[in-house]
Structure 1
């Protein structure tokens, strides 16, 4: 598998090729994944899916990773990748950055038919910290400025609940990724960190326990956000419709066509993910509205 290679940038305003001819224009198709965990684990989890796509689409497929969320967003905006798995806030950022030049296609659905997840704040279980009030004067690490669950939703909701993060906490650094924040809590670097869970069985802390990155029962959740709309698998809007349709079908079918690849993507042995459902832009408008609130705070 080759990772991202430099190519000529494709402007988002370019006219799409005829749907039936897309393979002659897109001999390599690239999809991006966000920096929720370290790069080697991200690549390992998605390599079986990449191989499945190559067999299904009949073209070479490459994985694109970046050191932060914005790297993937900018790659979409610059036409350097065709598709990406995005969080809700990252999709909103990409939509804004491209002036509507991206299309949400699918989002993951769980066994209980839910299509959302939750931002959480975690602490060491032995820290004696039980509530947000206990974090006054402590360090809370957010994941990334473009992370829905790791920054935007917890920050926004903490403000709505009467907390002013810059004043209430001693420091609110960005850890760079969900895993780095949780690991920082486990090793004492941070008092608390924002991350996400899908449910009690699946999420970043559970995945890290499975991988042996933290001990079972080492970190505990002390705050949970309202449900967040799961992020979409996203396409550039200027791609040939044939390519979009074939990729969308391939992703939709992976749970049954290649169950192991789908399982590996989830990153947890007891994942409750069952497949994908179609989504549209309207589902994410509230995330854009929330980001507009952030912008208004910065500009005021």
Structure 2
């Protein structure tokens, strides 16, 4: 394999041993790895959800894996650009932004939900007791987005509403960035905004339902809320799920081991895997850069529209 000649007997055994030693050479270069994740939820919830994944990866790879919960989506991009995060969990649009700005990162795994899909939707919620029953009712009202690099919380609403003749920055009286999916829903629940953009997998699997399960969602009077307290007035086309991605510059064997660790996690550590989705996902599936080309195109379109209006 190394000198491209056919080896037999003792020579083959010697080469196999050399290959095994070579396979671990990356540990000298990377005695510790970092997993950076986007702040889709609040910081403590994100840590609780992803620390078991970091611990699992460390056990599988044989080196410590440190969890880094980013302050915003751009921080994950910059951590990989600087080489400080060898592994990252992106949203689709933040992955696209990383690629478009020259970060050499390779998607390796994506979660598959209980409905069999490796993707989700962007939705806009209003309160069920509000007068806003359609997206048209929200003209001139206040919208909570998530983060400039969020897919469901910014890029998808902008793209698909523009397709329907509605410019987010002029259709709504104000579009604010809440900083996380949780914060956007909380702003709506407490009456700070009239609507909120968020992610949605199915009726019983969304960021909203996870907040309800954890008991962190209350209205302005402090009363616990259910999903019946919310109404969906906008739903995007289907979007690919956010990828786990590795730096392209990592040694090939390390990238292979990371990929295998993700794909075998449901079997090797079912508890930690279930914790990533509150038991809603069924496996990790392999993914490649070409699967995100539609999202790259969406982000490029939004960038062009922003330049036109500036």
| TM norm structure 1 | 0.90
**Superposition misfits of 4+ residues, deviation over 6 angstroms:** none
The reply to whether residue 62 of structure 1 matches residue 70 of structure 2 is: no
Greater Cα shift, 24-33 or 161-170:
161-170
Cα distance in 1 for partners of 2:268, 2:106 equals: 24
Q: Match for residue 203 of structure 1?
A: 206
Aligned with 1:279 (options 277, 287, 298): 287
SS of 1:263's partner is helix
Report the Cα offset of residue 63 of structure 1: 0.5
Q: Match for residue 115 of structure 2?
A: 112
The reply to whether residue 39 of structure 1 matches residue 38 of structure 2 is: no
Name structure 1 gaps, 5 residues minimum.
1-17
Aligned with 1:159 (options 143, 162, 166): 162
The residue correspondences of 1:213-228 to structure 2 (distance < 5 A) are 213-214=216-217, 215-216=225-226, 217-228=228-239
Cα distance in 1 for partners of 2:39, 2:230 equals: 21
Aligned with 2:105 (options 85, 102, 107): 102
Q: Match for residue 288 of structure 1?
A: 296
Q: Match for residue 80 of structure 1?
A: 84
The reply to whether residue 299 of structure 1 matches residue 310 of structure 2 is: no
Cα distance in 2 for partners of 1:128, 1:263 equals: 38
Aligned with 1:147 (options 140, 146, 150): 150
Cα distance in 2 for partners of 1:54, 1:278 equals: 20
Cα distance in 2 for partners of 1:219, 1:111 equals: 23
Aligned residue-pair number: 279
Q: State which structure, 1 or 2, has the greater radius of gyration over its C-alpha atoms.
A: 2
- The CA deviation string for residues 143-181 of structure 1, in whole angstroms up to 9 with x for no partner, is 001001111011110011111222221101111111100
Report the Cα offset of residue 62 of structure 1: 0.3
SS of 1:173's partner is strand
Cα distance in 2 for partners of 1:131, 1:86 equals: 30
Name structure 2 gaps, 5 residues minimum.
1-21, 218-224
Cα distance in 2 for partners of 1:296, 1:80 equals: 30
